[in-house]
Structure 1
Amino acid sequence: MPQPLPVIVPGPSGWEPKYPFPYDQWRNHVTERDITAERELCQWFNAQFFELKEQIEGLNNAIIRHNGSFDAPEVAQRFGVVTANIDQSLAFLTPRAQSLTQAYDSAGDMYFPIYQGDAFYGLWQQLSNVSNGLKARQPTWFTGPSVLHYQRWGTKISRSDVCQ
């Protein structure tokens, strides 16, 4: 059964932003606020992303095993813990993801000047969708795409080594 996740309290770290191409071209658009936000997002990611991902997968699997019933005992036990962990994660992620600088190029396309800023923003958006879908007791086929996108953004962050 899933367990409550500890509250993340950001602290000092030796983390520094990375500037691979083309992010080296946008370095002058990266603010201290971006750096602080991504440093703290990485602290959450390293500490809790994979555990929360497993908890969400376990809850979705339980819902499927019980034919979509949120009232089944196993689902009900998991539901409270997992949704509380998602809420706690969103409370941490929301102000940081929303503070990342979004810039526009000459073609009017939006981008994040800090490396993997788009991935953290996307991860936050999809986790918000998962939360809303679960709380509305939507079927897994409804929340499933958001779960998969959440996982995809997390994989992108993990494989980029941005949080190393």
Structure 2
Amino acid sequence: MCQWYNAQYATLRSQIARLQKNRIGPDGNDFDYTRDNIGQQVDIVTGNIGQALDFLTPRVQALTQAQNPYGDNYFPIYKGEAFYKLWEQLSNVNAGILAHQPDWFTAPSVQKAQRWGSDIYRSRVCEQ
């Protein structure tokens, strides 16, 4: 997962942020992908998110979740939860964009994905 994170996360994060900004039109509508070149940008970004999900899905689903003595779930592997949550939020972002959901609908998932991505970065788990 660090292989993907180091090579592609920053680029994908900036592509998503740019799309979120660009798809808000002067009239406030952000679900019309026919204006300007938004449709093309949506195709590129959702394609890139899809490729990331194709790579991450089998890896995050293989992460083991355990229960502590109090019955709470946790990931025994260091930063496993952060990768799982990043994958989860990227899935939500992709689904929202493909469904033409407005920016305010997808923005919380974008923010959460950025938070989990930053958590991975700050932990230095992917430093080589």
Query: Normalising to structure 1: TM-score of the pair?
Result: 0.74
Cα displacement string for residues 3-48 of structure 1 (whole angstroms, at most 9, x for unaligned residues)? xxxxxxxxxxxxxxxxxxxxxxxxxxxxxxxxxxxxxx00000000
Match in the other structure for 1:94: 57
Contact 1:133 1:143 (8 Å CA) reproduced: yes
Work out the CA distance in 1 between the residues paired with 2:4 and 2:51: 11
Work out the CA distance in 2 between the residues paired with 1:152 and 1:46: 16
Aligned ranges for residues 15-30 of structure 1 at < 5 Å?
none
Contact 1:62 1:74 (8 Å CA) reproduced: no
Cα displacement string for residues 82-131 of structure 1 (whole angstroms, at most 9, x for unaligned residues)? 01001111000000011001000011000000110000000000000001
Contact 1:120 1:157 (8 Å CA) reproduced: yes
Aligned length: 124
Match in the other structure for 2:69: 106
- Please tell me the residue identity of whatever aligns with 2:79: Q
- Please tell me the residue identity of whatever aligns with 1:97: V
Work out the CA distance in 2 between the residues paired with 1:152 and 1:137: 23
TM-align CA RMSD: 0.9
Work out the CA distance in 2 between the residues paired with 1:162 and 1:93: 16
Where does the alignment leave 5 or more consecutive residues of structure 2 unmatched? none
Match in the other structure for 1:145: 108
> Post-superposition shift, 1:73?
2.3
Match in the other structure for 1:47: 7
User: Which one is further off, 58-67 or 149-158?
Assistant: 58-67
- Please tell me the residue identity of whatever aligns with 1:92: F
Work out the CA distance in 2 between the residues paired with 1:94 and 1:147: 18
Contact 1:100 1:117 (8 Å CA) reproduced: yes
Work out the CA distance in 1 between the residues paired with 2:112 and 2:57: 17
Of 106, 120, 123, which residue of structure 2 is paired with 1:160?
A: 123
| Larger-Rg structure | 1
Task: Give the match's secondary structure for 2:100.
Answer: coil
Match in the other structure for 1:136: 99
The reply to whether residue 117 of structure 1 matches residue 80 of structure 2 is yes
Matched-pair identity in %: 53
Q: Which runs of 4+ in 1 moved over 2 A?
A: none
